[in-house]
C-alpha cells in the first residue's frame, strides 16, 4: 500500500477512495450556484434597469454579504456540524434569491434590490470548504491529501467554467430571470442532498479544543496575505464578467459574452488540471509569487484589446494564470494553518474572492457607464497589481514558522510537516 501511495498519488486513486462520490456529486451541484450568482444578478438587473452601475451595486452587496458571513458559516459548521448549518442556509438562500428575482422583474427601486441582496449573499452555502473538510476527515494523514487539495481547486475552476456559461445562456436564450431562478433551485436541491450525506461529515470536536483551533485561522499572518491575493483574483472574475458583457453588447452580439467568458474559464480549468497533475519541486510560496506576477502582467493588457480575437486570446492567457494562483494559495493553507482551523481559513479565502468580485463588478460597472467601452478592464489590472505588490512585500509571512523543526509540540498546535515536502 505504501508504494502505491507515496510514489505519486494521482486523481484516479483519489477518486477510488471509499465514500468519496457520495459527497462529490451533490457537492458539485451545491457549489455550482456560487459561480452563477454574480453574473445572474448582473444580467437580470441590467436588463430591468438598463444600468450596469445598478447591476454592479446589487451584485456587490451580494458579494460583500457572502464575504462577511462565509467565515462565520465555516466556524459554525466546525462547531455544530455541516448539516446543522447547510439545511437552514440553503432554504434561506433559495427564498432570498427568488425574492430578488421578483423584485427585479417588478422594477422595484434599487434600495429594495439591495435589501434582498443581503440575505441572498449572506446565506450562500460554503460547500467548497465543506468538501475539503470531508476529504480531510476521510483521508486523515494519507499522502493523497495533497492530491485532494489540487482536485478541489480544479473542481472550483470547473464550476467557474460551467456556472457563468450556464447563467449567461439561460439569461440570454431563455429569460433574464432564468439564471437566478436556476441558481436558487440548484442551491436548494444540491445543498439538501449534500447535507444528507451524514457518513462523510466531519466529526464535531469537543468545544474546548475546537475553540482554540477555530480562533487561530485569521491570526496566522500568511492567511491575511493570502486574503489580499484572493481579493485580487476576485477582481479578475468580477471585472471580466461585467466588462465582457458590456463589450459583447457594444458590438451588438450579447450572446458572445458566454463564448468570451468561456474562453477565459477554459484556460482557467485546463491550467488547473495540469497544475494539479505536476509533481512540483518548486516551493508553493515561489510558485505563488511567479504565478501571480504572470497573472498581473496578462491582466494589464485587457483594457487595450478592441477586437474579439485579441480579447479572447488575452482572456485565455489570464484564465491560465488564475488557476495556479488559486491552487497554490489553497496548498499554502494546508502548510500554514492547523488542521482544525482549515475550514474557516478556506472560507476566508472563498469570501475574499467574493468580496473582490463584488468590488470589481461595482467599480467596473461604474467605469463602463461613465467612461469608454472597455474601461472596466482596468479593474482586473489594478486589483492584481495591488495584490502582487502586497505579496512581494510580505512574502516572508508565507513561510511556515519553524515547520521543519517543530515536530513534538502537541496535537493542538499543528501537524508535523514532512521534511521531504519542504
Domains and CATH numbers, the chain: 20-399 (1.20.1250.20)
Q: Given this model, what pLDDT does residue 333 score?
A: 78
Find where cell 493588457 sits: 301
Q: Where are the alpha helices (DSSP H) in 16-51?
A: 20-49
Find where cell 463602463 sits: 368
The model's pTM: 0.72
Q: How many CB atoms lie within 10 A of CB 22?
A: 17
DSSP assignments along 275-308, one per residue: HHHS---S-HHHHHHHHHHHHHHHHTTGGG--SH
- The residue among 332, 344, 342 whose CA lies nearest residue 283 is 332
pLDDT tens series, the chain, 422 aa: 333 344 455 778 888 888 888 888 888 888 888 788 888 998 999 899 888 788 888 988 887 888 788 888 877 877 778 888 889 999 999 999 999 999 999 999 999 999 999 999 989 888 888 888 788 778 776 767 667 777 887 787 678 767 877 888 898 889 999 999 999 999 999 889 988 888 788 777 554 444 444 455 777 888 889 999 999 999 998 888 888 888 887 777 777 777 888 788 788 878 877 776 776 778 888 889 999 999 999 998 887 777 788 888 888 999 899 888 888 887 787 778 776 677 778 888 877 887 888 788 888 888 877 877 778 888 999 999 999 999 999 988 888 766 444 333 433 344 433 333 33
CA–CA distance, 26 with 188 (Å, rounded to integer): 11
Q: Given this model, what pLDDT does residue 405 score?
A: 41
CA–CA distance, 291 with 283 (Å, rounded to integer): 12
Distances (CA, A) of 34 to 10, 179, 214, 294, 327: 27, 12, 24, 26, 18
Find where cell 469608454 sits: 372
Q: Given this model, what pLDDT does residue 419 score?
A: 36
**Three-class DSSP category at 126:** coil
Distances (CA, A) of 334 to 132, 162, 305, 396, 403: 11, 27, 38, 17, 12
- The residue among 58, 20, 26 whose CA lies nearest residue 42 is 58
Q: Given this model, what pLDDT does residue 21 score?
A: 87
Q: Given this model, what pLDDT does residue 368 score?
A: 79
Q: Given this model, what pLDDT does residue 219 score?
A: 78
Amino acid at each position: 500500500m505504501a508504494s502505491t501511495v507515496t510514489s505519486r498519488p494521482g486523481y484516479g486513486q483519489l477518486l477510488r477512495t471509499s465514500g468519496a462520490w457520495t459527497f462529490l456529486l451533490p457537492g458539485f451541484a451545491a457549489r455550482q450556484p456560487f459561480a452563477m450568482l454574480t453574473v445572474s444578478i448582473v444580467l437580470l438587473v441590467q436588463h430591468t434597469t438598463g444600468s450596469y452601475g445598478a447591476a454592479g451595486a446589487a451584485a456587490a452587496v451580494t458579494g460583500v454579504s457572502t464575504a462577511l458571513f462565509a467565515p462565520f458559516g465555516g466556524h459554525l459548521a466546525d462547531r455544530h456540524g455541516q448539516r446543522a448549518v447547510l439545511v437552514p442556509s440553503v432554504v434561506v438562500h433559495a427564498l432570498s434569491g427568488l425574492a430578488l428575482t421578483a423584485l427585479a422583474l417588478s422594477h422595484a427601486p434599487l434600495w429594495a434590490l439591495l435589501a434582498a441582496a443581503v440575505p441572498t449573499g449572506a446565506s450562500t452555502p460554503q460547500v467548497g470548504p465543506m468538501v475539503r473538510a470531508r476529504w480531510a476527515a476521510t483521508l486523515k494523514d494519507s499522502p493523497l491529501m495533497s492530491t485532494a487539495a489540487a482536485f478541489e481547486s480544479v473542481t472550483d475552476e470547473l464550476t467557474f467554467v460551467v456556472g457563468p456559461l450556464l447563467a449567461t445562456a439561460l439569461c440570454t436564450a431563455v429569460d433574464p430571470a432564468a439564471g437566478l431562478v436556476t441558481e436558487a433551485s440548484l442551491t436548494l436541491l444540491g445543498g439538501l442532498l449534500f447535507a444528507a450525506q451524514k457518513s462523510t461529515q466531519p466529526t464535531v470536536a469537543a468545544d474546548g479544543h475546537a475553540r482554540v483551533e477555530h480562533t487561530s485561522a485569521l491570526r496566522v499572518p500568511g492567511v491575511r496575505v493570502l486574503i489580499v491575493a484572493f481579493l485580487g483574483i476576485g477582481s479578475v472574475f468580477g471585472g471580466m464578467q461585467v466588462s465582457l458583457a458590456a463589450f459583447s453588447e457594444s458590438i451588438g452580439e450579447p450572446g458572445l459574452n458566454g463564448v468570451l467568458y468561456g474562453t477565459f474559464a477554459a484556460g482557467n480549468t485546463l491550467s488547473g488540471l495540469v497544475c494539479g497533475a505536476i509533481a512540483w519541486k518548486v516551493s508553493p510560496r515561489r510558485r505563488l509569487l511567479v504565478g501571480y506576477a504572470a497573472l498581473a502582467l496578462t491582466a494589464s493588457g485587457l483594457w487595450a484589446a478592441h477586437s474579439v480575437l485579441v480579447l479572447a486570446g488575452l482572456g485565455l492567457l489570464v484564465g491560465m494564470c488564475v488557476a495556479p494562483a488559486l491552487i497554490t494559495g489553497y496548498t499554502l493553507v494546508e502548510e500554514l494553518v492547523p488542521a482544525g482551523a482549515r475550514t474557516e481559513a478556506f472560507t476566508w479565502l472563498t469570501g475574499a474572492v467574493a468580496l473582490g468580485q463584488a468590488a470589481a463588478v461595482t467599480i467596473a460597472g461604474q467605469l463602463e457607464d461613465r467612461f469608454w467601452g472597455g474601461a472596466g478592464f482596468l479593474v482586473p489590472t489594478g486589483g492584481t497589481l495591488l495584490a502582487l505588490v502586497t505579496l512581494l512585500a510580505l512574502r516572508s509571512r508565507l513561510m511556515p514558522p519553524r515547520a521543519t523543526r517543530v515536530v513534538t509540540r502537541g496535537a493542538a498546535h499543528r501537524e508535523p510537516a514532512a521534511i521531504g515536502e519542504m
